[in-house]
C-alpha cells in the first residue's frame, strides 16, 4: 500500500514555498495631499478631512503653556520640538479645532521649524496649518523624514481653505506613501500655528525568525518524497 506524505510535512512544504518566493519589497515615495481643516470647531469628530488613524488635537493641555516634548509618547509621538531651542513650542489658543494649537507664539513672531517624531514609521501623516495672507502660504513648507532623519519629501503647504466665497487662512497638509517609511513630519513657516496631527499605524511586517521557520518547510517535504522513490 502506498504511503502518503504526512500532513505536517505537506503543510511545511506549502509554507516553505510561500516564503521562498516573496514579493519584492516596495519602494515608497511620499506623495503630498491637502484636505479640509477644522475651522473654529468645538467638535472635531468630522474634521479634518480626510480623517484617519490617530489624531492629536492638543486640547488636553493648558493653554499658554509649554508643549512637553513627550506628552503624546503613549499615542505614538515620541518628540515634538522646534529647531531653535531658544523658542520652544507652546500650547496656544487655536483657530482650527478649539481649544488649542501649537506654535512658538509672539516670542518668535510665530515662526516655526518644528519636527514631530513618531515612535514607528507610518505610511500617512498630516497636520492642520493656520497661517496668514502676509507672507503668502506658499512660503510655508512641510517635510517628510525617514528613520535616519533624511528628508524624503518636501512640499509647500496646501492652499488656504475657501468656502462659499470666503477664504480662511487654514489648510490641511500631509503625505501618503505606499510603505511605512515616514518617521517624522516637519513644518517650516514664517508665521503659523499647527493643529490636529494625524498618522496611520505602521503596516505590520513579518519577523525574520517567522520567515525562516516557514522557509524550513520545503526541504523536509522534498527529502521525504525522494526517500519514498528510492525505496
pLDDT value, residue 142? 97
Task: Give pLDDT tens digits for 175-223.
Answer: 999 999 999 999 999 999 999 999 999 766 655 554 444 454 445 544 4
Average pLDDT over residues 11-34: 54
Average pLDDT over residues 37-47: 85
pLDDT value, residue 191? 92
Q: How many domains, the chain?
A: 2
Q: Is residue 79 part of a domain?
A: yes
Task: Give pLDDT tens digits for 120-165.
Answer: 999 999 999 998 766 666 689 999 999 999 999 999 999 889 988 8
β-pair partners for 92: 101
181: CATH: 2.60.120
Q: Is residue 187 part of a domain?
A: yes
Global pTM reads 0.77
Could you give the CA distance from residue 34 to residue 130 in angstroms, rounded to a whole number? 13
CA distances from 208 to 9, 22, 205 (A): 21, 13, 9
Q: Is residue 151 part of a domain?
A: yes
214 and 143 inside one domain:
no
Could you check whether the bond before residue 99 is cis, i.e. omega within 30 degrees of 0?
yes
Q: Is the pLDDT of residue 14 over 70?
A: no
Residue-wise DSSP of 69-102: TTTTGGGTEEEEEESSTTS--EEEE-SSBSSEEE
pLDDT value, residue 24? 37
37 and 123 inside one domain:
yes
Task: Give pLDDT tens digits for 159-185.
Answer: 889 988 899 999 999 999 999 999 999
pLDDT value, residue 202? 79
69 and 13 inside one domain:
no
Containing structural domain, residue 216: 7-21+209-230
Amino acid at each position: 500500500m502506498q504511503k502518503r506524505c504526512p500532513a505536517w510535512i505537506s503543510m511545511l512544504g506549502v509554507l516553505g514555498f510561500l516564503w521562498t518566493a516573496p514579493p519584492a519589497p516596495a519602494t515608497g515615495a511620499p506623495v503630498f495631499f491637502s484636505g479640509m481643516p477644522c475651522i473654529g470647531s468645538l467638535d472635531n469628530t468630522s474634521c479634518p478631512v480626510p480623517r484617519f488613524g490617530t489624531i492629536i488635537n492638543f486640547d488636553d493641555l493648558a493653554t499658554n503653556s509649554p508643549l512637553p516634548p513627550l506628552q503624546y509618547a503613549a499615542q505614538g509621538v515620541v518628540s515634538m520640538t522646534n529647531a531653535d531651542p531658544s523658542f520652544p513650542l507652546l500650547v496656544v489658543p487655536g483657530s482650527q479645532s478649539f481649544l488649542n494649537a501649537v506654535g512658538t507664539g509672539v516670542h518668535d513672531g510665530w515662526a516655526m521649524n518644528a519636527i514631530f517624531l513618531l515612535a514607528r514609521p507610518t505610511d500617512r501623516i498630516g497636520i492642520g496649518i493656520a497661517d496668514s495672507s502676509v507672507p503668502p502660504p506658499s512660503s510655508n513648507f512641510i517635510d517628510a523624514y525617514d528613520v535616519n532623519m533624511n528628508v524624503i519629501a518636501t512640499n509647500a503647504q496646501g492652499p488656504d481653505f475657501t468656502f462659499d466665497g470666503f477664504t480662511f487662512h487654514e489648510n490641511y497638509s500631509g503625505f501618503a506613501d505606499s510603505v511605512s517609511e515616514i518617521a517624522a513630519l516637519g513644518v517650516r513657516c514664517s508665521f503659523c500655528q499647527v493643529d490636529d496631527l494625524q498618522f496611520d499605524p505602521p503596516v505590520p511586517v513579518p519577523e525574520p525568525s517567522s520567515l525562516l521557520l516557514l522557509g524550513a518547510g520545503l526541504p523536509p517535504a522534498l527529502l521525504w518524497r525522494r526517500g519514498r522513490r528510492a525505496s
